[in-house]
């Protein structure tokens, strides 16, 4: 625990190994002690961290994880706040890891993305290009290049063009009222955020713009049917629900994913 770490403060790797401690363990102990017991401008944070580590009886592996994972925080005050909070959190290493992930997300706010390009040369005649830019432009480049990268590079690097389509999600009962001329109070919601009245909906020419998906309150999408594999109709119905992979945290386009989403993208 912490007392073991404190006893190692100021010791060299050779001195720790002379006490019969294996090389990897001695290095872990030295590195942890250099943070928790070494010189710092944030002595109050360090004192609280030391007391918390002692009170909660954190093992060496836990303390080593705390000090090691804190390195990614460039701001020194945030780094010591992170160490202080985790040393004063009760629990085993698994719990500390969970709390650490949440705490780091709060302290390490990602910088806003800006358009940029990066290239990595692998030394074998190949290189990897990474682009950050407007989503539609980058997606267009990917769609044009994904099936034949060499041909795309030799062809002037064009990007794929897109036909913008929108989908209207509409309750079956409301749809019947609209086509009967009685649905002016019905609100039709499109997947791009537009909301129109039933009367406006009737006047719109949707054939060139997109699709109408009829949803029954009990049965779900009308005429979708059950099938072993997803049909184009199934895929379009699913796009009305989500345009990205449905796995939590995955932002891959739905067009690149399996329809059933049994395997994460």
Per residue in 60-69, pLDDT (tens digit) is: 999 999 999 9
Given strand 220-221, what is the order of strands in its sheet? 195-197, 187-190, 166-171, 210-216, 220-221
Please answer whether residues 208 and 166 qualify as being in contact, where contact means their C-beta atoms are separated by less than 8 angstroms: no
What angle, rounded to 10 degrees, do the helices at 60-69 and 93-107 form? 20
Tell me the pTM.
0.49
Angstrom CA distances, 206 to 20, 43, 167, 220, stand at 78, 67, 9, 22
Task: Give residue limits of the domains in the chain.
Answer: 2-107, 129-161, 166-256
Residue 220 to residue 233: CA distance in whole angstroms: 14
Q: What is the mean pLDDT of residues 163-189?
A: 63
pLDDT at 161: 64
The mean-pLDDT minimum among 114-118, 153-157, 193-197, 225-229 falls in: 225-229
Question: By three-state DSSP, how is residue 113 classified?
Answer: coil
Other beta carbons less than 10 A from residue 228's beta carbon: 4
pLDDT over threshold 70, residue 262: no
């Amino acid at each position: 625990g912490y007392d073991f770490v404190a006893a190692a403060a100021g010791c060299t790797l050779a001195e720790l190994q002379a006490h019969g401690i294996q090389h990897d363990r001695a290095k872990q102990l030295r590195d942890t002690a250099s943070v928790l017991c070494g010189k710092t401008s944030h002595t109050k944070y360090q004192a609280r961290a030391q007391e918390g580590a002692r009170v909660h009886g954190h093992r060496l592996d836990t303390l080593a994880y705390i000090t090691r994972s804190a390195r990614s925080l460039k701001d020194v005050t945030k780094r010591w706040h992170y160490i202080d909070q985790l040393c004063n959190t009760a629990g085993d290493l698994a719990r500390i890891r969970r709390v650490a992930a949440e705490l780091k997300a709060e302290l390490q706010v990602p910088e806003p993305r800006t358009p940029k390009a990066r290239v990595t040369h692998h030394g074998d005649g190949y290189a990897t290009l990474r682009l950050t830019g407007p989503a539609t432009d980058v997606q267009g480049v990917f769609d044009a290049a994904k099936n034949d990268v060499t041909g795309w590079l030799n062809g002037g690097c064009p990007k794929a063009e897109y036909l913008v389509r929108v989908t209207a999600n509409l309750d079956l009962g409301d749809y019947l009222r609209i086509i009967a001329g009685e649905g002016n109070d019905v609100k039709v919601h499109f997947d791009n955020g537009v909301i129109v009245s039933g009367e406006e909906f009737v006047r719109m020419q949707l054939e060139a713009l997109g699709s109408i998906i009829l949803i029954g309150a009990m049965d779900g999408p009308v005429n979708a049917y059950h099938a072993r594999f997803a049909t184009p109709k199934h895929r379009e119905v699913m796009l009305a629900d989500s345009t990205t992979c449905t796995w939590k945290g995955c932002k891959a386009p739905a067009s690149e994913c399996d329809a059933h989403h049994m395997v994460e993208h």
